Structure 1
Amino acid sequence: MRLLSLIAALVATFAVALPAFASPDAWRAEWPDTDFSTATVEDWSEIISGGPPKDGIPALSNPAFVPASETSGLSDREPVITLELDGARPRAYPIRYLTWHEIVNDEIDGTPVAVTFCPLCNSALVFDRRADGRVLSFGVSGKLRHSDMIMYDRQTESWWQQALGRAIVGELTGTELTQLPSWMESWAQYRDRHPEGLVMAEPDWPRRYGQNPYVGYDSAARPFLYNGEMPPHGIPPLVRVVRVGDRAWPLPRLAEAGRITEAGVTIDWEAGQASALDAREISEGRDVGTIRVRDADGNDLPHDLMFAFAFHAFFPDGTWMVP
């Protein structure tokens, strides 16, 4: 029943997804400025429409911020993406906003960043927007590959795979963005650690901020808009995994252990963060906890907290860190 509610909500929000195509010809009229002659995509049928057209999910640019100590309206357990750049005031980007916008183009003390969240993969990544000698601005293409958002840059209209931070179609094909260390944690965890920090203010868009249009998704039997292989080792496809490089640690293992040190990294798990993809109200989602990933010197490491099916799709030769 919960999966049926999810599908109904998605269809009502975005309309029915369009079919896949075996060549890029069908996309050329919609994307006249994209160079489809250059691509790393071998099977074009992997790319489908998620429903919304180009910019149908509106990315944000240059958002406003307010001090964490003066912020109201966020529940303690709500997830935020935390970004702590050296020398800059910490910033938190609430998932209640990113669920509806998926990309935030921001600049922090001269560093241009793209804060991204793909709900269908639970992939929350922050990138430096500088690539190929220019500063890029990103939008949401409306296309999916392996259920993961395809971003596009407004300078060349190249297509970028969000889970990889890599251009897969267009002039910049093969270019990779630099991923910055960031993590998802609860609003209370961020606020208590950084009362002097900043939090992104509510955008001026007519959206149901705080509500989850993907009710019950992370307990569904199968991913939405995904036709690829399921993960090995009997791991359910919608179990979260912590990806560091091409290794993946299943979240249930981390939650049971509390801390694991392997392969040169230490991963800590702490209770207190609500799932953004469970209950209708994000703040009421079940507790999935917060993870931090650090190296041997205690430095935060770039990582992802994605669903198992997405790791298997994008890292088919990756290593599963299971007992």
Structure 2
Amino acid sequence: MIHCLQTATLINGIPKAIHAGGTVTRCSNPLLCLFACLCLLLASLAVPPSARAEVPDPAALRRMADQMTDTGILPDQIPSLSRPSYMPVPDAALSMDDEEQVFVARFPGAIRIYPQRIMVYHEVVNEEFDGMPYSITYSPLTGGLVGYHGKAGRFDTSFGVSGSLLNANTVLFDRATGSLWPQLLGMSIKGPLLGAKLQRFPLIWTTWERAARTYPDAMVLSRSTGFNRRYGTDPYGSYSNPNSYYHFQQITYPVMNRDNRLPPKERIAALEQDGQYYALPYTAVRREGAVDFTLGITPMVAIWDRKLATVRVFERVAAEKTIEFFMENDKLLDKGTRSEWSHDGEALFGILRGATLTPVASMDCMWFAWSAFFPDVQILPRQ
């Protein structure tokens, strides 16, 4: 079944085996063609109605697929990890530098820390908690960090690295159908699940010293992956080195759109909802402390988390009210009650004590990649 879904080719919705010269011809193997048709029908049904309703022009997605860059790397030559080994924070600290970049994921009943120097060699970690699949994805060339629920259409699945790029961004494939998904886009641009969308979950980008202090009981991705890699080094340089790829402003691979409103590799928190796309530069959110905005119909706030030195985004609705935030004396307060809030989105003191905000799955990435996908992206806070 999976083989059929991956290899069947369509022309105007008709399997290629029964399409020739614009007319339908008799198939040389009717049983094979019938089987292919049934597979394609099942694949289309695998896309939930809600996802199909949001599908953009399929021709636009196919044009995206046509612009993918073939790097010469084959699928799985960059090997994803599935349910790998972890170690406690004290053990991991023996091989970690304080300023080493790490990614933090909160799962049901568990917190996991993923060192960037391991992720750069694998790009995807597939996990499962309480029977639910999750994928932690990282695209080194675009600094893209995105968490996805492991469900493609109606299939529970894991993801691998295809070896292709779009806007220099890693293109993933799901192992259920072989459909292709640019990591930042989170939408299939080729394959049986064309136009289907993935559901994100929040990840936190910070440093080892900050993560270990904040989450001392977390478990850390082990270097014992079963692969022979130089996990102590990064082939692209270092985020702490201003002369590395991560700071050098040249764009290495073709992009569909260039936008000079920000430096190409400016680090942003990227958001998309209801057909609107926003970019929140880390430098601006840090300067403001808190930025209120509305994405689609959802009021949100971006907060500079001083403890983790990162941007956190929440829906700013609590106690059935829309909250407006501001910073005063390094404290996060709401304008209505002046209750004090933590950077985890919880009211610590005041009338709203105990109220919590819902986290939003923003994405870390470089400006050039997000604006290449979405030329009409809005930058916040507005200047």
Which residues in structure 2 correspond to 1:39-118 (within 5 Å)? 40-71=61-92, 72-85=94-107, 87-118=108-139
Counterpart position of 2:160: 139
Which structure has the bigger radius of gyration?
2
Equivalence for 1:306: 365
For residue 164 of structure 1, what is the aligned residue in structure 2? 185
Could you tell me which residue of structure 2 aligns to residue 266 of structure 1?
A: 301
Residue deviations 1:202-254 (CA, integer Å, cap 9, x gap): 12311111312113112223211124332243x11111111122111122212
CA 1:70/1:227 → structure 2, altered by over 3 Å: closer, same or farther? closer
What is the alpha-carbon distance in structure 2 between the residues aligned to residue 232 and residue 223 of structure 1?
12
* Counterpart position of 2:375: 316
Distance 1:134 1:214 in 2: 34
Match for residue 173 of structure 1 among 194, 211, 219? 194
1:74–1:133 CA distance, 2 compared to 1 (3 A): same
One-letter code aligned to 2:86: F
Q: What's the offset of the Cα at 1:103?
A: 0.6
TM-score, structure 1 normalization: 0.79
Quote the Cα distance in structure 2 between the aligned partners of 1:43 and 1:291: 30
Q: 1:271 to 1:223 in 2, by over 3 A?
A: farther
| Secondary structure, aligned partner of 1:177 | coil
Question: Which residue of 1 is the match for residue 6 of structure 2?
Answer: 33
> Once superposed, what is the RMSD of the aligned Cα atoms?
2.3
**Alignment TM-score, normalising by the size of structure 2:** 0.67
The CA distance in 1 between the partners of 2:148 and 2:263, in whole Å, is 28
Q: Secondary structure at the residue paired with 1:169? A: coil
The Cα of 1:186 is off from its aligned counterpart by 1.4
Contact 2:77 2:163 in 1 (8 A): yes
- Structure 1, unmatched stretches of 5+, are 1-30, 274-288
Query: Given that residues 34 and 171 in structure 1 are in contact (C-alpha distance below 8 angstroms), is that contact kept between their aligned partners in structure 2?
Result: no
1:260: how far off? 2.7
- Structure 1 pair 50–185 and aligned structure 2 pair: CA distance change class (3 A): same
Give 1:44 deviation, angstroms. 4.6
Deviation at 1:116, TM superposition (A): 0.3
**Partner Cα separation in structure 2 for residue 34 and residue 247 of structure 1:** 37
- Give the alignment of 1:138-217 within 5 angstroms: 138-202=159-223, 203-215=225-237, 216-217=244-245
Work out whether residues 69 and 196 of structure 1, in 8 Å CA contact, stay in contact via their aligned partners in 2: no
Judge which range, 262-271 or 45-54, deviates more: 262-271
Greater mean deviation of Cα atoms: 54-63 or 74-83:
74-83
What is the rounded CA distance, in whole Å, between the counterparts of 1:189 and 1:159 in structure 2?
35
Asked whether the 8 Å contact 1:35–1:158 carries over to 2, the reply is no
Distance in 1, Cα, partners of 2:8 & 2:193: 9
| SS of alignment partner, residue 168 of structure 1 | coil
Task: Encode CA deviations 1:102-151: one digit per residue, 9 max, x unaligned.
Answer: 01111123221111000111110111102332211211100011111111
- 1:239 equivalenced with 2:270 (yes/no): no
Which residue of 1 is the match for residue 143 of structure 2?
Answer: 122
Closer, same or farther in 2 for the Cα pair 1:304/1:218, shift >3 Å?
A: same
Greater RCO structure (CA 8 Å; 6+ sep) = 1
Q: Decide whether the 8 Å contact of 1:115 with 1:127 is kept in 2.
A: yes
Q: Would you say the 8 A contact 2:161–2:173 is kept in 1?
A: yes
CA distance in 1, matches of 2:116, 2:367: 20
Specify which of 280, 302, 327 is matched with residue 249 of structure 1: 280
Distance 1:144 1:67, change over 3 A: same
Structure 1 residues 35 and 306: CA distance shift in structure 2, 3 A: farther
How many pairs does the alignment contain? 276
| AA in 2 matched with 1:46 | Q
Decide which structure has greater strand share: 2
How many angstroms apart in 1 are the aligned matches of 2:7 and 2:211?
40
Query: Counterparts of 2:128 and 2:155 in 1: how far apart (Å)?
Result: 14
Kindly tell me: are residues 130 and 229 of structure 1, through their superposed partners in 2, closer, same or farther at Cα, counting changes over 3 Å?
Answer: closer
The residue matched to 1:312 in structure 2 has which SS? helix
1:218 alignment counterpart: 246
Query: How far apart are the structure 1 equivalents of 2:127 and 2:312?
Result: 23
Is the 2:123–2:137 contact (alpha carbons within 8 Å) kept by the matching residues of 1? yes
Matches of 1:131 and 1:43, distance apart in 2: 19
The Cα of 1:43 is off from its aligned counterpart by: 5.0
